């Protein structure tokens, strides 16, 4: 039970530092961040904990074997020499995925096939049965990562990606992934720093607001879903349930002792708003947890003396109150939004996550910080604007030094 296992947790690129902090708090050791993920060691409980409580990870994998390769025959041999039968019997359905960095292999598809054959042939030698393949709903996923000359085989512990918290039903146009939303909130200092208010004036399906509300209330992201490790042989279901209930209770008790910020937001389209309200309820939040309102972002008046705005503003186009599409770049919209920040959000800090790297110029404000974050392959920035009285003047002076 206390045996240390090797793991890898994948995450959005740019979020590794926050994932590292989370993993440390779960008791992980030997933590090493790479681009797009973090490797670590820990007991099975640490692996459970990461699945249950990480807001940043998109998947947690156990590292099973690793070796050098020259050809796909070596990949086959590595797969065949790995003790898959310790984790699943031949009835478990299988999906194999291969990712590569600087690999000389001609075809990853062929590499995938060879690894799959290695696994299946091992089962055939043991009990005469080859597992069947199911790419849609496999009971187990194997991931292989190949570099220039090395291959590592991993067994997935998560199942559905961890950003799927189990509450999203309808999707609006382009919802943020929940773990990217959580990353932006952590870049903005949550959950340790508790502002008076958290707000998102372009809330869409409500991802940032719901993630923030769950975070400050200590509601664990994996509390409502199941995980692939539950299908492993010898899975200690009772221990897991006890562990999960205890962690959920602990997190909520800790959070309840802290200040609860007001959580406010809105969107211009009624359709997005009704999805957001529905999603918040499905996430298990009480009705009053988030104050939603239908509003043009430009029509907000100061919702309080201080707070943190976290938002993923529309890029390329925006909508007017009648739901007509208006191209944002051609409008006075962004300078007006900048003016709104200065006039109505004095005392606030605003974090804008966008793929539009020119946004600060468009809103005519100078960012205090810019944090690179990737939305899948798309390079984005989290721009931070401090809206304190006098900030501009100080910055102007510094510029002249």
Ligand X SMILES: C[S@@+](CC[C@H](N)C(=O)[O-])C[C@H]1O[C@@H](n2cnc3c(N)ncnc32)[C@H](O)[C@@H]1O
Rounded least distance, CB 168 to ligand X, Å: 9
Instruction: Name the nearest CA neighbour of 320 among 267, 266, 264.
Output: 267
Are 243 and 45 in contact by the 8 Å Cβ rule? The answer is yes
Measured from each CB, the residue nearest to ligand X is 204
Are 375 and 180 in contact by the 8 Å Cβ rule? The answer is yes
Residue in the block written with tokens 């990606």:
161
User: Which CB atom, from 174 or from 256, has the smaller least distance to ligand X?
Assistant: 174
Rounded least distance, CB 273 to ligand X, Å: 9
Instruction: Name the nearest CA neighbour of 85 among 140, 141, 123, 117.
Output: 123
User: Which CB atom, from 39 or from 205, has the smaller least distance to ligand X?
Assistant: 205
Rounded least distance, CB 108 to ligand X, Å: 31
C-alpha distances (whole Å) from 398 to each of 246, 302, 376, 391, 393 are: 51, 29, 36, 11, 9
* CA 200/CA 297 separation, integer angstroms: 9
Which residues lie closer than 8 Å to 20 by C-beta, 6 or more apart? 31, 33, 38
The CA-to-CA distance between both ends of the chain, in Å, stands at 61
Residue in the block written with tokens 């043009």:
296
User: Which CB atom, from 114 or from 318, has the smaller least distance to ligand X?
Assistant: 318
User: Which CB atom, from 208 or from 365, has the smaller least distance to ligand X?
Assistant: 208
* CA 200/CA 244 separation, integer angstroms: 31
Rounded least distance, CB 34 to ligand X, Å: 27
Rounded least distance, CB 170 to ligand X, Å: 10
User: Which CB atom, from 60 or from 276, has the smaller least distance to ligand X?
Assistant: 276
Rounded least distance, CB 317 to ligand X, Å: 8
User: Which CB atom, from 115 or from 352, has the smaller least distance to ligand X?
Assistant: 352
Rounded least distance, CB 359 to ligand X, Å: 12
List residues binding ligand X (CB under 6 A): 172, 174-176, 201-202, 204-205, 207-208, 267-269, 272, 296-297, 312, 314, 318-319
Which residues lie closer than 8 Å to 393 by C-beta, 6 or more apart? none
User: Which CB atom, from 20 or from 312, has the smaller least distance to ligand X?
Assistant: 312
């Amino acid at each position: 039970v206390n045996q240390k296992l090797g793991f890898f947790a994948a995450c959005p690129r740019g979020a590794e530092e926050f994932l590292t902090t989370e993993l440390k708090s779960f008791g992980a050791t030997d933590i090493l961040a790479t681009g797009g993920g973090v490797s670590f060691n820990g007991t099975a409980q640490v692996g459970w904990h990461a699945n249950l409580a990480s807001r940043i990870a998109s998947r947690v994998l156990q590292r099973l074997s690793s070796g050098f390769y020259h050809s796909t025959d070596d990949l086959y041999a590595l797969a065949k020499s790995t003790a898959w039968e310790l984790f699943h019997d031949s009835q478990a359905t299988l999906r194999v995925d291969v990712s590569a960095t600087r690999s000389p292999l001609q075809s990853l598809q062929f590499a995938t096939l060879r690894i799959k054959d290695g696994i299946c042939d091992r089962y055939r030698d043991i009990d005469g049965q080859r597992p069947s393949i199911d790419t849609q709903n496999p009971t187990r996923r194997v991931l292989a990562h190949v570099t220039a000359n090395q291959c590592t085989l991993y067994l997935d512990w998560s199942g559905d990606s961890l950003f799927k918290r189990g509450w999203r039903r309808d999707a609006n146009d382009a919802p943020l992934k929940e773990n990217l939303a959580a990353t932006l909130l952590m870049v903005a200092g949550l959950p340790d720093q508790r502002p008076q208010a958290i707000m998102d004036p372009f809330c869409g399906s409500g991802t940032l607001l719901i993630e923030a509300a769950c975070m400050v209330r200590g509601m664990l992201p994996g509390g409502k879903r199941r995980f692939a490790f539950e299908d492993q042989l010898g899975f200690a279901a009772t221990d897991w349930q006890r562990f999960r209930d205890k962690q959920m209770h602990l997190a909520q008790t800790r959070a309840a002792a802290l200040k609860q910020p007001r959580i406010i937001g809105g969107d211009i389209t009624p359709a997005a708003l009704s999805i957001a309200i529905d999603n918040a309820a499905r996430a298990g939040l009480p009705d009053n947890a988030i104050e939603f309102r239908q509003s043009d972002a430009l029509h907000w008046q100061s919702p309080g003396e201080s707070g943190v705005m976290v938002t993923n503003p529309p890029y390329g186009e925006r909508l007017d109150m009648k739901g007509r599409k208006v191209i944002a770049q051609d409008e006075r919209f962004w300078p007006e939004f900048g003016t709104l920040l200065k006039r109505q959000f004095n005392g606030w800090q605003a974090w804008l996550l966008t793929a539009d790297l020119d946004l600060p110029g468009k809103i005519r404000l100078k960012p205090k910080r810019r944090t690179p974050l990737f939305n899948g392959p798309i390079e984005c920035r989290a721009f931070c604007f401090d809206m304190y009285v006098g900030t501009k003047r100080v910055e102007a002076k510094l510029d002249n030094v």
